[in-house]
Amino acid sequence: AGIVPAAAGTIRFGERDYAALGDEELSALRRERFGYVFQHGELLPELTVEENAALPLRLAGQRKGAAHAAAATVLGRLGLDALRGRRVAQLSGGQAQRVAVARAL
């Protein structure tokens, strides 16, 4: 169910065989159920920490206020509350990685 298709075998979670899904079904699954943390974070530099963390929720159709409230909660749990208004360029590497984790969550 990852980006690279399985060469053999099955990928199961519960009763569902993800290796048997088509491209559209896999895209929906990735968009709705999975979060990704890339090695270099891949944060958008023109957005604030909070905007980066809220982005997946906004893309999924969640209203701005609800998305930012959820992002603020996760950022707080990861010790990033004080950084919510900062831009990516103002973060250390470790802080940027934690923002990427918050966005994935």
Statement: the pTM of the whole predicted model exceeds 0.75: no
From residue 77, give the alpha-carbon distance in Å to each of 36, 40, 91, 94, 105: 18, 21, 17, 15, 11
List, for residues 29-79, the tens digit of each pLDDT value: 777 777 677 776 689 999 999 999 999 999 989 999 999 999 999 999 999
Delimit the domains of the chain by residue range.
1-34, 49-104
List, for residues 8-27, the tens digit of each pLDDT value: 788 887 787 877 788 888 88
Length of the chain: 105
